[in-house]
């Protein structure tokens, strides 16, 4: 009995010491004034979080000191890596789940590990910011820990709502009614209401946040930075030469040519028989059904066999993600004669160049909540690339059917659209040119100007 009492008293003393330490640190932090400091929290690969990178770039342009907190992975964009106002603080990744460990046990362990690490780094490693900018999702444990640290340090929390975390969890467990999903939804609502300000990606999400959870937000539409633009023929030639060293699909019929260009009198020109370039960007997740595109290509292959005027297709699908190997195995089984499919992983610098090479973009993104928009389409529009996009509830906020692209619901419909747009390629592409011309107004408003109009007034308030 005496031993048990000793353990309880000792544990209580340790806990009181920890709480007193946190309280003292809180008082010290609250006396600091850091109006031009911001910490951006990405509980994911920083290099694969473009919107949060663009936030960081804009803060730095407005002379903020920016600390980006997240996981190391793909290289961030060059303007962040070379910016003296931006520093990166990298978190440790949880080891992969052992095959013998139950999923629920691993999930709880991962959450506890991330919670402790986030709290420690945000409290003791990072200088007090004026505010934390939180990417949501993931919601658990980010926004709860950020709220706690804000209480200690006396700073603000801004949530950038890209989607709902609980709807993504529902995709994984195959049900919105699953107990874990319901708990995650309550958590997201409760801690979402603790933020000082909220930003979201669509009018549909703004309305949903207000009606469902009484959370008021400002819409910050994604807009492309200046480096998303149409790629010149010379840049295309150099890029395809570079990529041909790793991907044979980009190689031409000799060592000095690319798939679709050749040199004439020292100048780079298009081949008259070049294939049409289709671009699709993806994170290879379950909210993108690539079987739709593959079935459409099968239909096009059959049509090409009957209509000799249709061009060959080069279908470039960029990105990394959990479903990539699954779809690559399916693609490998296809025996296309008139279609090449290549799935490269590109650097942050090469990605906008390849988008600018396209004749048509394909988007298969369907939101788990129906309330967010595909950033890949924003990238394509920034390069002046029209798209065919699969229909979902708020897509009309970005893609205007028959104005800057086409909207489809089935593989047959997509195949018909590709056939129509390329029926006289490359001599007669009137509809594609009309779409490109209609995108010029979209291209006038770039990310930073849009950010200054929406976010800067919030943080100066």
What pLDDT score was predicted for residue 283? Answer: 82
Cα gap 129→263, rounded to integer Å: 54
What pLDDT score was predicted for residue 18? Answer: 60
| φ, ψ (nearest 5 deg) of residue 190 | -60, -55
**Which pTM value belongs to this model?**
0.89
Instruction: Say if residues 67 and 38 touch (Cβ distance below 8 Å).
Output: yes
What pLDDT score was predicted for residue 163? Answer: 95
Go through the chain and tell me how many residues it has: 461
Instruction: Say if residues 458 and 131 touch (Cβ distance below 8 Å).
Output: no
What pLDDT score was predicted for residue 367? Answer: 85
What is the biggest distance separating any 2 CA atoms in the chain, rounded to whole angstroms? 95
**What burial class does residue 267 get, using C-beta atoms within 10 Å of its C-beta: 0-12 exposed, 13-18 middle, 19+ buried?**
exposed
For 226-243, what is each residue's pLDDT tens digit? Answer: 999 999 988 998 898 889
Cα gap 431→411, rounded to integer Å: 21
Cα gap 114→421, rounded to integer Å: 48
What pLDDT score was predicted for residue 343? Answer: 92
For 85-108, what is each residue's pLDDT tens digit? Answer: 999 999 999 888 888 888 888 989
Q: What 3-state DSSP class applies to 128? A: coil
- Domains recognised in the chain with CATH numbers: 35-223+448-460 (3.40.50.2000), 233-444 (3.40.50.2000)
What pLDDT score was predicted for residue 45? Answer: 94
Q: Please give, one letter per residue, the 3-state secondary structure of 296-326.
A: HHHHHHHHHHHCCCCCCEEEEEECCCCCHHH
**Tell me, what DSSP letter sits at residue 162?**
S
What is the mean pLDDT for each group of 10 consecutive residues in the chain (461 residues)? 56 58 56 79 95 98 97 93 96 88 88 96 94 96 97 96 94 89 96 97 98 97 95 90 84 62 77 90 82 95 87 92 89 91 91 96 91 95 97 95 96 97 88 96 95 94 74
Q: How many CB atoms lie within 10 A of CB 244?
A: 17
Indicate the pairing of strand 276-281 with strand 313-318.
Answer: parallel
What pLDDT score was predicted for residue 285? Answer: 80
Instruction: Say if residues 214 and 454 touch (Cβ distance below 8 Å).
Output: no
**What burial class does residue 390 get, using C-beta atoms within 10 Å of its C-beta: 0-12 exposed, 13-18 middle, 19+ buried?**
buried
What pLDDT score was predicted for residue 373? Answer: 95
What pLDDT score was predicted for residue 190? Answer: 97
Indicate the pairing of strand 197-200 with strand 360-363.
Answer: unpaired
Q: What 3-state DSSP class applies to 184? A: helix
What pLDDT score was predicted for residue 455? Answer: 97
What pLDDT score was predicted for residue 56? Answer: 98
């Amino acid at each position: 009995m005496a031993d048990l009492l000793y353990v309880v008293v000792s544990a209580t003393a340790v806990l009181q010491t920890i709480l007193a330490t946190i309280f003292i640190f809180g008082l010290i932090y609250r006396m600091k004034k850091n109006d031009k400091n911001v910490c951006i929290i990405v509980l994911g690969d920083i290099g694969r979080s473009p919107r949060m990178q663009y936030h960081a770039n804009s803060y730095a342009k407005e002379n903020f000191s920016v600390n980006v907190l997240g996981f190391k992975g793909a290289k961030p964009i060059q303007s962040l890596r070379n910016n003296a106002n931006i520093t990166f603080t990298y978190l440790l990744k949880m080891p992969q789940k052992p095959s013998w460990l139950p999923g629920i046990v691993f999930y709880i362990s991962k959450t506890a590990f991330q919670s402790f690490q986030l709290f420690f780094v945000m409290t003791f490693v990072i200088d007090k910011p004026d505010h934390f900018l939180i990417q949501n999702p993931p919601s658990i444990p980010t926004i709860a820990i950020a709220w706690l640290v804000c209480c200690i340090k006396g700073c603000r929390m801004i949530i950038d709502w890209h989607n709902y975390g609980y709807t993504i969890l529902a995709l994984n467990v195959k049900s919105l009614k699953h107990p874990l999903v319901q708990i995650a939804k309550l958590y997201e609502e409760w801690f979402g209401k603790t933020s000082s300000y909220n930003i979201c990606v669509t009018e549909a999400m703004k309305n949903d946040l207000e009606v469902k959870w009484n959370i008021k937000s400002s819409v910050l539409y994604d807009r492309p930075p200046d480096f998303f633009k149409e790629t010149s023929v010379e840049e295309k030639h150099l890029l395809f030469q570079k990529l041909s060293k790793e991907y044979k699909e980009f190689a031409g019929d000799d060592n000095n040519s690319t798939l679709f260009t050749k040199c004439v009198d020292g100048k780079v020109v298009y081949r008259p028989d070049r294939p049409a370039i289709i671009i699709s960007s993806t994170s290879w997740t379950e909210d993108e059904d690539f079987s739709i595109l593959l079935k459409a290509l099968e239909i096009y292959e059959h049509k090409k066999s009957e209509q000799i005027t249709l061009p060959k297709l080069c279908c470039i699908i960029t990105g990394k993600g959990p479903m990539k190997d699954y779809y690559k195995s399916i693609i490998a089984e296809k025996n296309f004669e008139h279609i090449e499919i290549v799935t490269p992983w590109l650097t942050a610098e090469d990605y906008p160049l390849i988008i600018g090479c396209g004749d048509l973009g394909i988007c298969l993104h369907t939101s788990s909540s129906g309330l967010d928009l595909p950033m890949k389409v924003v990238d394509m529009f920034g390069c002046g690339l029209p798209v065919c996009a699969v229909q979902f509830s708020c897509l009309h906020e970005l893609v205007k059917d028959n104005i800057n692209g086409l909207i489809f619901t089935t593989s047959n419909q997509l195949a018909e659209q590709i056939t129509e747009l390329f029926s006289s390629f490359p001599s007669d592409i009137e509809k594609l040119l009309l779409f490109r011309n209609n995108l010029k107004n979209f291209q006038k408003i770039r990310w930073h100007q849009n950010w200054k109009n929406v976010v800067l007034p919030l943080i100066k308030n």
